[in-house]
A and B are shown apart, each in its own frame.
Chain A
Amino acid sequence: MTTISAFMTGDHRACDAQLADLESHVEASRWPQARTAWAAFGAAMRCHFRREEEILFLAFERATGGGGGPTYVMRMEHEQMRAAFGQLDVAVRAEDKKRVLALSESLMVLIQQHNMKEEQILYPMAEQLVEDGDRVVGEMQALRPESS
C-alpha cells in the first residue's frame, strides 16, 4: 500500500503537469485544447481538494482533536485557489491569452507554496498521527475526478 505522502505528492505533480499543459496550449493560442486542458485541470484539482477536505483532513482532525491549526490554514488556502480558479475561468472563456498566463503564473506559485507546506509538514504529520493510514489512502484512491 502506498503512503499518504507518496499518494498525495503524486496527485500534486499530476495536477501541476495539467496546469503546465494549459499554459502551453494558451501560449500557442490553441484554444480548443486549452479549454480541454482547463477542464481536466479543474476536475483533477476539485478531486484533490475533496480527497483532502472530506477524507484526509477529517482523519487528521480526529487524530489531533480539533479543526484549528494546520488544516484550518490549508482549507483557507484552498479557498484562495478556488477564487483564483474563478478569475482564470473568466479569462479562459474570453480567450484572453495575456490574462490567462498572468493568472496561471500566480496560481502556480500559490499552489506550490501550499503544496510545500503539505508535503513538508502536513502529510508527514498525518502519517505519524492517523492510525489507519492504509484505509485513508484507499478511500482517497476510490474518489476519482468527475469526467467533464
Chain B
Amino acid sequence: MKPLPLALDDLPPFRVPLRFFLTAPLFGVLAGIVVIVEGETVFASRWSPALIGATHLLTLGWLAMVMIGALFQVVPVLSGRGIPAAARVAAPVHLALTLGTLGLAYGLVASSPNLVALGLGGLLAAFLLFGGLLAWRVLRPSRGGGALVTIRFAVLALFATVALGAWMAAGIAWPSLGIPYRASTDSHARFGLFGWVLLLVMGVSQQVVPMFHVTPPFPAAIARGCGVTVFGGLILLATSDARLAVVIGASATASASLAWAIALLAVLAKRKRRRTDATVRAWQLACWVLIGTAPIAWQIAVVPDLPISFVARHQQALLLGVLVVLGFCVTVVLGMLQKIVPFLAFTHLQRRALKNPAAIPLLPAMEDFVSTRTATIQIAIHATAIALTIAAAFEPAVARAAGAALCVDFAFCAVNLTRAALRYRRVVASVAERE
C-alpha cells in the first residue's frame, strides 16, 4: 500500500479511537460484576464503597474512555487541525486511563489507600497529557457560535471535576493529610455530570442533531442560554451555602436542563428524516430521563425534607446518581457509539478504495458493521438495565438482577463493536488483495 498523502492527516488512523471504543464496554461489564458480587450492600447508601467504585468504572472507564476516543476524531473536524501527535499519544493516554481507572475503582471498592494512590497517578497522567493537548487546540481564541461557547464551559467544568476528584483521591490515599474529602463530593459530581457531560452534550447536540437528522435548528434562546445558565448555576452551588444561592443555583441548573431536554425532543419530533434509528431512540430516552431527573435534583437541593416526596431521604442521592450517570450520560454515549464506529470503519475503507475504483463495489455500508436492528436491541437492553438499577436504588434486593442486566448491556455492546472491528479488518484485507 502506498503511504497516504500528508494532508489526509486530519483523520487519525482508525486504531487511535478504536482502542478506546473497544475497551470502554469492558469497564461497563466490570461495573456490572461489582454490583453482582457486592449485591445488596451496593445500594445501602450513597457512601457504599462498591457503589462509588462501580460509579467510577462507568464515569471514567466508559464515559471518559469513549469521550477521549471521540475527541481524537472530532477535534480535527471542529478546529481544522488534529490533536498533536495523535497516533503517538493515543497508546500512552489509553494505557494510563485504563490502569488509573482500574486502580482507583478497585481501591475504592476494597478501601485500599495504596491502590487509590496508584489510580490517581494513572488518571492524572492521562488527563494532564490529553487535557493539555486538547486545551492547546480548543481553548485558543477563535470565532464560534453558541455551540463552541457551551463546549468551552464544558472543558472548564472538566478541569473543576478532575481537580476536585484528585483532591478527594489524595485525601483517601493519604489520610494523614486530613483532607475533608466528603465535603467536595457534591461539587465533584455536579461539575462532572451536569458540567462536563451535560454541557458537552448540549453543545454537541445543537450542532449535530439538526445536521444528521435534518431538523430545524434549536430555538436561539435555548442554543445560547442553556449552557451559560447551567454553568452559572453550578458555580453558584459550588461557591456558596447560603439559602438564596442554593435556591437560585439549583433552579437555574434544573430549569435549563429541562428546557434543553424539551427543546431537543421538540426538534427531533420535527425531523425531516422520519426513520427512527437507534441514535434517535437513545436521544429520546436520555431526554425523558433528564426531564424526570431535573425536578428530583431541584427538590433534593432545595427542599430535601419535602413531606410528600416519594423518595426517602437516604435514597435521594442514590436515585439521582443512577438517573444521571446511567440513565442520561451512559445512554447518550451508547447511542452515539452505535453510529461512530460504523461510520469510521466505512470512511476509512472508502478512502482506501478511492485509489482503487475496482474495490468500491466491495465496500460495506455503515449498516453492515452494526445493523439498525442490533443497535435498536442495544438501546432496549440498556433501557431495561436502567429500569432495574433504578429499582435497586429503592429495593436493594434487586441489586444482583441490576448488575446482571448491566453485564448483558455492556457485553452486547462489546461483542457488536468487536465484530464490527473484525469485519473492518477482513474488508481491508480483501481491498488490499486488489491493489
Interface residues of A, Cβ cutoff 8 Å to B: 16-17, 19-21, 23-24, 27, 68-70, 72-73, 76, 79-80, 83-84, 86-87, 99, 101-103, 105-106, 108-110, 112-113, 115-117, 120-121, 124
Contacts and interface: CB of A to CB of B under 8 A. Distances in A.
A69 B7 contact: yes
Interface stretch (B310-318, B343-351, B422-430): B343-351
B339 A109 contact: yes
A34 B153 CA distance: 44
Nearest to A21: B272
A76 to B, nearest CB: 7
Contacts, number: 93
Contact of A101 (B275, B339, B363): B275
18 contacts: A21-B272, A24-B273, A76-B8, A76-B354, A80-B347, A80-B350, A80-B354, A83-B350, A83-B360, A83-B363, A84-B350, A101-B275, A102-B365, A105-B366, A106-B367, A110-B347, A115-B211, A120-B78
Given A27-B274, A101-B275, A20 B214 contact: yes
Contact of B343 (A80, A84, A106): A106
A68 B7 contact: yes
B368 interface: yes
Given A102-B365, A106-B366, A117 B77 contact: yes
B367 A105 contact: yes
B353 interface: yes
B393 to A, nearest CB: 37
Interface of B: 5, 7-8, 10, 77-80, 143, 207-208, 211-212, 214, 272-275, 277, 339, 343, 346-347, 350-351, 353-354, 357, 360-361, 363, 365-368
A19 B354 CA distance: 23
Which 3 A-B pairs give the minimum distances between C-beta atoms? A102-B367, A102-B365, A121-B80
Given A20-B273, A112-B212, A120-B78, A83 B366 contact: no
A102 B365 CA distance: 6
Per DSSP, are chain A's interface residues mostly helix, strand or loop, or mixed?
A: helix
Most buried by B among A19, A80, A112, A120: A120
A111 to B, nearest CB: 9
Contacts of A80: 347, 350-351, 354
B368 A86 contact: no
B80 A24 contact: no
Given A70-B80, A80-B354, A87-B360, A102 B368 contact: yes
A139 B30 CA distance: 59
Given A16-B211, A116-B77, A116-B207, A73 B365 contact: no
A80 B360 CA distance: 10
A117 B351 contact: no
Given A20-B272, A116-B211, 20 more contacts: A20-B273, A23-B273, A23-B274, A68-B7, A72-B7, A73-B8, A80-B350, A83-B357, A83-B360, A86-B360, A87-B361, A99-B365, A106-B365, A106-B367, A110-B350, A112-B208, A113-B347, A117-B77, A120-B78, A120-B80
Contacts of B5: 72
Contacts of B80: 70, 117, 120-121
A7 to B, nearest CB: 17
A105 B372 CA distance: 10
A86 B273 CA distance: 22
A109 B366 contact: yes
Contacts of A87: 360-361, 363
B274 A83 contact: no
Nearest to A83: B360
A102 B364 CA distance: 9
Contacts of A120: 77-78, 80
B67 to A, nearest CB: 17
Contacts of B77: 113, 116-117, 120
A94 to B, nearest CB: 13
Contacts of B79: 121
Contacts of A76: 8, 351, 354
B360 A112 contact: no
A24 B361 CA distance: 25
Nearest to A91: B365
A20 B272 CA distance: 6
Contacts of B272: 16-17, 20-21
Contacts of B346: 106, 109-110
A16 B343 CA distance: 18
Nearest to A69: B7
B158 to A, nearest CB: 21
Nearest to B11: A73
B365 A103 contact: yes
